[in-house]
Structure 1
Amino acid sequence: MNPSEVAKITQNLQVQLSELETLQSMYTREELRVEDLNVLAHVNAFVEGRIPDLPNYLDLTVNLLVDKQKFELCINLSHEYPDAEPDLYVRNHKLNKQQHAAINKDLTEFIGGLNRGEECIFSAISWLQDNAENYVVLEQVEEPTIEKNETLVRYWIYSHHIYSKSKRKEILDLALKLNITGFCMPGKPGIICVEGTTSDCNEWWQEIKAMNWKRIFCKISEQCSESSEDFLKFRTFEERVFHNNNIKCNHMDMGELFKFLEDHQCGYIFKDIFGVEAKSNSSC
């Protein structure tokens, strides 16, 4: 990374710290939470020039009461913020999938209409306070029961990146709730494999892709015509991190990923996902 890039990231992080300090003066610790204080300390140390390594992205959670309804605003700030949009996701236990998708889509469009280079977290909070109640249905209508299609599928999901802790938790929690197996590899790029019945995997995918992503898509879909447990390659769903020995590299070790896939009889998929043959050792 050249000096001008480092200087720009340092400037952006200074803005993030200043904005966070302002928000902390306005909200209590219960209302505004920094998800990882070690990351915050790393950001401060990097800005002050005490360490050369880039910090991880800041994850914040804002808890708001709107018309007696609790909303969570999950925020992930990349090194490019405020020049790039923040990664935002709104949660409320009374919202169904469609309502979650609608409120997050509208919030994303609102943030996208603001000037880049300017702080916008408080604007997002204000928008949520003004509009959140419009998405809540107090009396849920019971949805008709749909008979499950027991056909088994496996989806290979490719994302530009997966850093946000709130998204990673949602990916894991929803998979466990729906009895889906597979894994999630965070980082850049992010890779997710989900396998299970068609209905369960579709429900998981519809909810996850409704989040605010820079880019995410189902790259490969595999299907088993018969309900056979031999089709399933994973016993549980877990997050897997394949660390690269090069501490200056933010990417995962692709050699370790390939070994993991081979151990689960999925090595064949590596070339289909990345377009290249696997190598025993990965470089940055």
Structure 2
Amino acid sequence: MTQTETNLLENLQLQLEELESLQAMFYNPGEIKIEDAGVFFEIKEFVAGKLNVVPPRLGYVVNLLIEGKKFEMCVSLSHDYPFVKPEIFLRSHLLNKVQHVELNKKIGEFLTGLPEGEPCIFTIISWLQDNAHDYCTLEKLENSNESYQEQDDKVLARYWIYSHHIYSKTKRKALTELAHQLNINGFVLPGKPGIICVEGNACDVNEWWQTVKSMNWKRIFCKVTESNKEETKSTNFLKFHGFVEKVFENHGPKYNHMNMGEFFKYLDEHQLAYIFKDLFGVEARSS
């Protein structure tokens, strides 16, 4: 067994042990929900030496009741965890968009300060139990943003975001839910690289981006920004209706064989073909 294989085995063993500890503490039905029971089984089989194929990454949701509010803490672990930070996203239907943005931003900052190499999910839960109340009372912050909202309401923006990769089901779900919550349009293209387009009112698009970039990424950046600063809204600027996940003739579980021709066609259908070169540095080949 190579050193890499040994490290993977040890990491997955630690992940299972941490999850089992959490299940012992949160034993009521529904408190912990594993994203894919089949993946969980494969990881256990791999750790036990009964499976030779590397299993997909582990994901689960911890449902918490804090200050009378229900929180969902979505957890996604790469094969390198705990030596790489977990992907965490908090949500609650009782929180407004400002509260969601601020809480998830703070979780990202808290994660950055934690030591590497140590399981940290329980630490994050403890922090949330101690601090969530501060982010459930941000009405003043929301009110203070009303004037900014009014000023920026007529400005439309479109962000083109480039990520090293987007595989995690938990993260993809978080991207979509946050977009729906903020009423912005666009798409996420999972795979390697991952491409995201978001458009809508400039303040909402910026809020979405500030929250998303605070999540744990290997590399993510906003590559192109566009805006329409006319005095009145122009529906011609907005090219999408709603926010969706798009996959073009993927092969394999990691969406790593995207059909670039189909992606270009999708952009062209939305009058956005010009952006292809800006994203990838090459002209698209016509089919």
The change in CA–CA distance for 1:192 and 1:129 in structure 2 (over 3 A counts) is same
Q: Tell me what 2:91 maps to.
A: 91
> Is the contact between residue 57 and residue 163 of structure 1 (CA under 8 Å) also seen in structure 2?
no
Q: Tell me what 1:251 maps to.
A: 256
> Is the contact between residue 108 and residue 214 of structure 2 (CA under 8 Å) also seen in structure 1?
no
Matched, 1:217 2:221: yes
> Is the contact between residue 77 and residue 87 of structure 1 (CA under 8 Å) also seen in structure 2?
yes
Q: CA deviation at 1:214?
A: 4.1
Q: Tell me what 1:242 maps to.
A: 248
Q: Distance in 2 between matches of 1:280 and 1:16?
A: 46
Question: 1:70-121 CA deviation, whole Å, 9 max, x = no partner?
Answer: 2222211011101111112233445455544544444444444443222221
Matched, 1:204 2:208: yes
> Is the contact between residue 162 and residue 186 of structure 1 (CA under 8 Å) also seen in structure 2?
yes
* Greater Cα offset, 123-132 or 92-101: 92-101
Q: CA deviation at 1:212?
A: 4.3
Matched, 1:163 2:167: yes
Q: Distance in 2 between matches of 1:135 and 1:235?
A: 31
The change in CA–CA distance for 1:106 and 1:201 in structure 2 (over 3 A counts) is closer
> Is the contact between residue 240 and residue 270 of structure 2 (CA under 8 Å) also seen in structure 1?
yes
Matched length:
279
Q: CA deviation at 1:243?
A: 4.8
Q: Tell me what 1:191 maps to.
A: 195
Question: 1:166-200 CA deviation, whole Å, 9 max, x = no partner?
Answer: 43233223433444332111233321112233344
Q: Tell me what 2:126 maps to.
A: 126
Q: Distance in 1 between matches of 2:283 and 2:174?
A: 31
Q: In angstroms, what is the RMSD of aligned CA positions?
A: 3.2
The change in CA–CA distance for 1:3 and 1:92 in structure 2 (over 3 A counts) is same
What secondary structure, in the 3-state scheme, does the structure 1 residue paired with 2:160 have?
Answer: strand
Q: Distance in 1 between matches of 2:24 and 2:167?
A: 27
What pairs with 1:101-112 in structure 2 (closer than 5 Å)?
A: 101-112=101-112
Percentage identity across paired residues of the two chains: 52
Matched, 1:273 2:279: yes
> Is the contact between residue 241 and residue 252 of structure 1 (CA under 8 Å) also seen in structure 2?
no
Q: CA deviation at 1:142?
A: 6.7
> Is the contact between residue 104 and residue 212 of structure 1 (CA under 8 Å) also seen in structure 2?
no
Q: Tell me what 2:60 maps to.
A: 60
What secondary structure, in the 3-state scheme, does the structure 2 residue paired with 1:40 have?
Answer: helix
What pairs with 1:165-180 in structure 2 (closer than 5 Å)?
A: 165-180=169-184
Q: Distance in 2 between matches of 1:178 and 1:66?
A: 24
TM-score of the superposed pair, with normalisation by structure 1: 0.80
